[in-house]
Amino acid sequence: MTHTAELKNGLDQLALGLNEQQLALLDGYLTLLAKWNHTYNLTAVREEQRMVSYHLLDSLSLVPHLNGGSRLLDVGSGGGMPGIPAAIARPDLQVVLLDSNHKKTTFLRQAVIELGLPNVEVVTSRVEAYQPEQKFDRITSRAFAELAEFVRLTPHLLAEGGQYLAMKGVYPYEEISLLPETVAVAEVLPVSVPGLDAERHLVRMVAK
Q: DSSP assignment, residue 65?
A: G
Residue 82: is the preceding peptide bond cis (ω within 30°)?
Answer: yes
CB 84 within 8 A of CB 208: no
Binding residues for S-adenosyl-L-methionine: 76, 81, 127-128, 142
CB 57 within 8 A of CB 26: no
Query: Which residues does 90 contact at the CB level (< 8 Å), separation at least 6?
Result: 63, 66
Q: Would strands 94-99 and 120-124 be described as parallel, antiparallel, or unpaired?
A: parallel
Binding residues: 76, 81, 127-128, 142
